[in-house]
Structure 1
Amino acid sequence: HITISCFKSVIIGNQCDEDPYILKRRANLDLVELPNGVRTRRKGLNLQKSQAFKYQPPSSANYGHVLGGGTRYGSFPRLFSDSRSSLNLESNFDPVLESQEDDFYNSFEKEESCRTSEDLYSSIGGLSAGPQKSRNTDGSLCDRSNEEASPLTDNPVILSSKNTQTENEEIIAREICQGHRVNGKPNGKKSSSTTLMGKQDSVTNDRNSTSRRSKPIIFLQVANRLLGVVVMIVLAYHWAGYLAQLHDNQFWFVNIKEVKREISFRTEQGLYYSYYKQLVHAHSLDQGMSELRSDTITEHGRTINIFHRFNIHQELFLAALYRVINFGLRPIFFYIYSVFSLQGMFLCAMYLITWNLSGTWLSGVLMTAFLICHRMNVTRVEFTIPLREHFSLPFIFSQFFAIGLYFDAKGRKYEKLHLMAIYLLTFLLTVTWQFAQFVLLLQGLVLFAFALLGILENNKVSKILATILGAIVTVWYLQFYQPMVLNSLVVSLIPVAIVILQSYNEGRVRRPGIWNNLQWSIVKIGLGIISTIVINTLLKVLSGQDADNHIFRFVQSKFGFVDQTDFETRLYLCLPIFQPLPWQYYLAMNESGSMSLYCAFVILEVILIALSVFWHWHHKAKPEDKASKHEPTGIYHWFRSNPDVDFIRDRKMSQGWCFHIGQSLILAILAMTTLRMKCFWGPYICIFASVMVCHPGLWSFVVSKLGGGRGNWKLTNLLRHIILASCIFALYSSYKGRIHEELEDLKEFHDPDTVELMEWIPKQTPPNAAFTGSMQLLAGVKLCTGRPLTNHPHFEDKELRHRTKELYQIYARKSPEEVHDILVKYNTSYIILEDSICLSRSDKRCNLPTTMDLTNGHIPDDGIRDPAHLVHAPHRRFCDEIRKGQAPFTRFFKKVFGNRTFRVYQVLP
């Protein structure tokens, strides 16, 4: 039995007055004989652990009513973190009772909020200085200021009807509240339950009535969820069909011939699709896999394992699936429709994240409307189908959703299921895209930092990181021990983060407080990052792996450390997709108001998270530390006392919510620095914009200010759903004409020069003839003709980058002898020169001829000597001079094909 006294508060529903102090009283309490023979303690009340603080108020319009006419307060996370410091133990106590009370206190503290139930009644003693009021069963207030003190207790207490031993006490207590009993005796007023049997019958009838009422409510909830799922599936189906229609309108894909379809897969797209084509047309799947494991066509003169070098397991899966069930489609249509189907899964992942954050599936419909309106700034799948990002993004956002669910899950009942889902999705997103490791790195940093700040649970974060590491190791194995996978930064970060998080104990903070916690958090995050870099460097030195060094040089260039003569860095920096996000992107995303809504949402939630963290850090401080002049208590005091921020204080921030905020912020920074990475940020803009429109805390605050009552959730939900429907209708009206124009804009793929070249090569060249040219063109040569290549656009291998640098001397200022020696070194049979490259001009020195001049230390065509060590080239540009057919060139090269765009020369022995 436990005696509990809440000073300055009564716990009603989900609201508590400030921080209730739980006092353990261990005095020689006299037992009182009640009229029904039940014995209880004077100045106290019998409570069991399962009875504590369970009450559902009849009316939610006025939460937090305080005995004696006090003020209303909101609830805070970790409500009882400091309550033990104020416990007063008296001299006489029973060790058994003490153990029971400790168990109760621990279970109560873990709840971190005031639980609700229908079976708690209030009984009020007579020690309050002012008039005391409590609630009747009908929700009205009963004034007991003139009543005498109850013989049950001299202090404010709370009773429960869960235990049969105290049921008669509860009857008396409720009658006191209703005015039917004074001084423990009936006062002559009519009582609805004056006997134990009558009370039990009343409770039984109430429960049966509640059960009958709850059945239709449960049915409506299930029906609502099923409707939301059906709407999601319908939207996903139409979204995939919409993208497929746009692709067909762009290329007239259904009606053009096969070579045009394949040519439409530009650059590395053609390279990836060529492996799918090879697997489909092989005599058997095993034979096709064997050929790819010992490939001599992709890099002529080298035998490479395609599964080791490239992320093409999705092509293997689709080829195997096509052999089993192809629906009567040609291989190329089966391939593109599979990718568009994945985009339907992508929308489902975004829809579920939106639904989970907002609490209503209608916000998922609004998110879909934003997605359609800003399609060009979110995805480019309709004209770049085989790119790796279109296979990986659906799994990336599905993993985001799974992690958010895991953080919000209560208990450990489905923990293994959550972790299995995270493992599977992490494996799929990593095996389908080589850049996914950088997404996981950023994700690991968010999880690590938020755990150290106290926003996320250490144990859950450690389990997620370990699960991600297991998925990465699985990918490493399936890619035939690809060293770039294990030598990635995320693999070095995860063990460091787990060790720091598992060794971190909040209770060991030497000097609690905001400033001290902030300092220690920054130190630990910095220590983790430095340790990660050191471990990663050691791993690369020990394994001799440096294939990804060009990525770090590219990152350095983003911070201003640019070597203008570095060939690899210039190839990246000169591509528009690797430039910073242009201002037009922000304007385009704000046409529908989505960018403004996103910014408002993120700013609001970041402030809430920061205030929650600061409150938690300040709450851990000792009283003398809180009163210290060194602590910033001004904002804390305002946050606790200002009634105008009630909706902020009532806002219960979930860990999954915080995870999505952090993930969105770090992906926003990535997208702002690199245009290609906007595919990660755009979906979150659509998600958060729709969530902001129906923000439950915001609209609850608006309703309360309009006089609708703080707890009027029916009016709040009605209002936010009306706003959602209005926004959907407004977007439909604004963008309907534009979408119809896109669907009616019919085009046809037209590239006759490339088609002529691809049809000439298989007719006029031997099957083993190796070709040299631009990386973008050669991928199409392999796809359309199957001829060996000397270089290709997959730029993730150090030796291939060096080979490309040498072969690109065909666009530099080199003599025919030097170029011929290089081509013979790589067994080149033919070179393909493109006038669009050879004669190109650029104000920013970003054309390929200028890049080769700077790489060779020559002054480019603009005549500017920058850097200062540049010199004039001794020869004219090879690609331009060879067209003249002069003697030095005709001795080594023979022109065999030409049109308006391409010139093909045979390399003579």
Structure 2
Amino acid sequence: MAEVRCRRAVLPVERQDGEEDLESKDNPHNSGDPVSHDDVDATDVGGVEGTQESVKKREEKDQGETKPVEEKTGEKEDETDKQMPSPVKTSTRSSRSVMLQRLVKLFFGCLAAVTCGMMYAVYLSTYHERKFWFSSRQELEREITFQGGSGLYYYYYKHMLTAPSFERGVYELTRDNRTVSGQTINVVERLSLYPELVTSLLYRVTGSQEVIEPVYFYIGMVFGLQALYVTALFVSSWVMSGTWVAGMLAVAWYVINRPDTTKVDYAIPLRDNWALPYFSCQVAALTGFLSNNINSATEMFCYLLMSATTFTFVLVWEHSHYVLFVQGLALFLLDSFDLVQPRKIADIHKVYLSSVFLAYVLQFQNPRLLSSPLLSLLVASVLARYFQPVSCVHFLSRTQAPMAAVFAGSPQLLGTVKLCSGWTVTSLPLFSDIHLLRSSEDTHQVYALRSAEDIYKILTSHKTNYVIVEESLCNELSHTKGCRIKDLLDISNGHVVYDKGEMYSFSKHGRFCHEIKLNYSPYTNYFTRVFWNRSYHIYKVNSVISFQY
């Protein structure tokens, strides 16, 4: 019975892999030695107990092996989490990648522009040498190659080099009695000889007498300016198109049509060969200055470059003011259609005026500059800007608005409105009254990133009938970000956040003062334009909203 019970106790135990080996070592039945029944009974009982112990040990061993696996898995997950980049790092890397791409594009574009200019200068030098066999000729024969009367300019260049000193040479040219019979003239003023003066001075100062002949130094200066001409043309096309491939196409077009665009092949000393490269640089700087997507530092650089090149262009060439007149007329047309910011047009006019004034002084009070069409255009533009506020006030004084009409606008402008028309206004230029300050902040919301409905509710809360939008505030640009009225409004309204020089917008609406000028719904549903010029836009706040699409 004991044997039966022991065997029954053994039967429920299921064997697992590896138990057979253990039992073969511990259980004597597995050996070939004979055993007695008593030994069998004892062995069976001991086998049951040993089997159970081996099972427990196996389970503990498996659990012990499982825990390190789980710990390793957890460690791998932690390492994977650590390796996963955060959104902030991803955005930083993407911004760095974009910045790197821009720098690479800028580098190769500038390299292509400079390369085109240098290759063009080498081409001109080689072409000039092969056309005239310049190096194998005598000095007199070389000078004869300056055709079209251009040799006269080179004569004064030689005169400056043979003078005892630079100052003495300038004095003799300003009181020249050897050129025109019976007359003493100022050839510097008559012929615009500043290129020859500067070139002769550089030849003296740099000590080039022992390195290069005067004629090669002279034509080298002209060919160098032609290289600058082509480089500036490349940059202008690049800025306007956004790709430097367009710059290469523009340079190719210029080189192909060179006989129709320049006389540098046979009349090197002519004034236009000295002046047009500066004009090309002025156009490139003007193009960059008129761009809307440039920062303040780039804008200032373009403005300074435009000022310097405009002045040099006027000083070097007597016909330059006619070219600038055409340019100024084109800018006037762009300004008339509100395609250019009025502030930038005013800055360009300042460049014109200062350049003409300085050239007038350095050209010994040249009367031709005072009668130039450019100066007439500038005087007309200044008068037009002066009469723009006058026309606005004149409209307000003769408008058929009811006596109880209320006008909204900037406090400074409303003071003038009150003075000239007597209408009721929403605010005054007083900064000690908290209620007027809050009213001014509300009316200035027309320059914020607000919807037409929001502005309509704000203005009607002040019982406004007419609102005046000023271009100087709507398109205000400043070298310091965050200090303009529209910047302060955006920050106060929580629509814009500045972080490390970057601006992030959180408004789904465009700037109201920009959007309302486009005359589309829903702005036309709430407001009706009754007057506008380049400086002011006056809108009537509709008492009855008409939903037109």
| TM norm structure 1 | 0.34
- Match in the other structure for 1:501: 385
Letter in 2 for 1:395: Y
Is 1:453–2:337 an aligned residue pair? yes
Is 1:433–2:314 an aligned residue pair? no
SS of structure 2 residue aligned to 1:480 = coil
Question: Cα offset for 1:504?
Answer: 2.9
Question: Cα offset for 1:273?
Answer: 1.1
Q: Is the 8 A contact 1:451 1:501 kept in 2?
A: no
Letter in 2 for 1:348: T
Is 1:421–2:305 an aligned residue pair? yes
Among candidates 254, 274, 285, match of residue 371 of structure 1: 254
Q: Is the 8 A contact 1:351 1:368 kept in 2?
A: yes
SS of structure 2 residue aligned to 1:298 = coil
Among candidates 377, 394, 398, match of residue 281 of structure 2: 398
Is 1:380–2:263 an aligned residue pair? yes
Q: Is the 8 A contact 1:452 1:501 kept in 2?
A: no
Is 1:231–2:231 an aligned residue pair? no
Among candidates 175, 179, 183, match of residue 294 of structure 1: 175
Letter in 1 for 2:278: F
5 Å matches for 1:585-600?
none
Q: Which moved more, 1:254-263 or 1:405-414?
A: 405-414
Question: Cα offset for 1:299?
Answer: 1.0
Is 1:211–2:95 an aligned residue pair? no
* Deviation digits for residues 409-446 of structure 1 (CA, Å, limit 9, x no counterpart): 55655554433222111011111110101011111212
Structure 2: distance between partners of 1:372 and 1:412: 35
* Deviation digits for residues 102-128 of structure 1 (CA, Å, limit 9, x no counterpart): xxxxxxxxxxxxxxxxxxxxxxxxxxx
5 Å matches for 1:551-562?
none
Question: Cα offset for 1:224?
Answer: 2.0
Question: Cα offset for 1:623?
Answer: 6.0
- Match in the other structure for 2:205: 324
- Match in the other structure for 2:408: none
Structure 2: distance between partners of 1:218 and 1:509: 51
Structure 1: distance between partners of 2:295 and 2:393: 26
Q: Is the 8 A contact 2:335 2:341 kept in 1?
A: yes
Letter in 1 for 2:290: F
CA change 1:418–1:203 in 2 (3 A) is farther
Question: Cα offset for 1:395?
Answer: 0.8
Letter in 2 for 1:365: M
Structure 2: distance between partners of 1:316 and 1:376: 28
Structure 1: distance between partners of 2:117 and 2:167: 35
Letter in 1 for 2:108: L
* Deviation digits for residues 464-502 of structure 1 (CA, Å, limit 9, x no counterpart): 111111011111111111111122121122122023135
Q: Is the 8 A contact 1:239 1:344 kept in 2?
A: yes
- Match in the other structure for 2:355: 471
SS of structure 2 residue aligned to 1:268 = coil
Structure 2: distance between partners of 1:216 and 1:319: 49
* Deviation digits for residues 788-823 of structure 1 (CA, Å, limit 9, x no counterpart): xxxxxxxxxxxxxxxxxxxxxxxxxxxxxxxxxxxx
Letter in 1 for 2:113: M
* Deviation digits for residues 124-154 of structure 1 (CA, Å, limit 9, x no counterpart): xxxxxxxxxxxxxxxxxxxxxxxxxxxxxxx
- Match in the other structure for 2:166: 285
- Match in the other structure for 1:389: 272
* Deviation digits for residues 659-686 of structure 1 (CA, Å, limit 9, x no counterpart): xxxxxxxxxxxxxxxxxxxxxxxxxxxx
Structure 2: distance between partners of 1:616 and 1:250: 60
- Match in the other structure for 2:373: 489
5 Å matches for 1:299-698?
299-325=180-206, 326=208, 328-409=211-292, 410=294, 412=296, 415-504=299-388
Letter in 2 for 1:332: V
Q: Is the 8 A contact 2:148 2:267 kept in 1?
A: no
Q: Is the 8 A contact 2:276 2:313 kept in 1?
A: yes
CA change 1:230–1:286 in 2 (3 A) is same
* Deviation digits for residues 485-527 of structure 1 (CA, Å, limit 9, x no counterpart): 122121122122023135436978969xxxxxxxxxxxxxxxx
SS of structure 2 residue aligned to 1:382 = coil
Structure 2: distance between partners of 1:624 and 1:373: 57
Structure 1: distance between partners of 2:271 and 2:304: 24
- Match in the other structure for 1:271: 152
Gaps of 5+ in 1: 1-200, 512-612, 628-909
CA change 1:480–1:229 in 2 (3 A) is same
Structure 2: distance between partners of 1:625 and 1:387: 59
CA change 1:393–1:414 in 2 (3 A) is same
Question: Cα offset for 1:449?
Answer: 2.4
Structure 1: distance between partners of 2:146 and 2:313: 22
| TM norm structure 2 | 0.55
CA change 1:214–1:463 in 2 (3 A) is closer
Structure 2: distance between partners of 1:203 and 1:445: 59
Structure 2: distance between partners of 1:375 and 1:485: 30
Structure 2: distance between partners of 1:343 and 1:397: 10
Letter in 1 for 2:236: I
Letter in 1 for 2:187: I
SS of structure 2 residue aligned to 1:420 = helix
CA change 1:375–1:616 in 2 (3 A) is farther
* Deviation digits for residues 753-801 of structure 1 (CA, Å, limit 9, x no counterpart): xxxxxxxxxxxxxxxxxxxxxxxxxxxxxxxxxxxxxxxxxxxxxxxxx
Question: Cα offset for 1:625?
Answer: 11
- Match in the other structure for 1:195: none
Letter in 1 for 2:322: F
Structure 2: distance between partners of 1:245 and 1:475: 35
Q: Percent identity?
A: 28
CA change 1:267–1:381 in 2 (3 A) is closer
* Deviation digits for residues 181-236 of structure 1 (CA, Å, limit 9, x no counterpart): xxxxxxxxxxxxxxxxxxxx999910112212332332232122111111211111
* Deviation digits for residues 11-56 of structure 1 (CA, Å, limit 9, x no counterpart): xxxxxxxxxxxxxxxxxxxxxxxxxxxxxxxxxxxxxxxxxxxxxx
Structure 2: distance between partners of 1:360 and 1:469: 33
Q: Is the 8 A contact 1:244 1:382 kept in 2?
A: no
Question: Cα offset for 1:454?
Answer: 1.4
Letter in 1 for 2:116: L
Structure 2: distance between partners of 1:376 and 1:616: 47
Q: Which moved more, 1:290-299 or 1:260-269?
A: 260-269
CA change 1:412–1:372 in 2 (3 A) is closer
Gaps of 5+ in 2: 1-81, 397-513, 530-549
Q: Is the 8 A contact 2:288 2:299 kept in 1?
A: no
Structure 2: distance between partners of 1:415 and 1:248: 41
Aligned length: 326
Q: CA RMSD in A?
A: 3.1
Structure 2: distance between partners of 1:280 and 1:485: 30
Structure 2: distance between partners of 1:205 and 1:491: 61
Question: Cα offset for 1:622?
Answer: 5.8
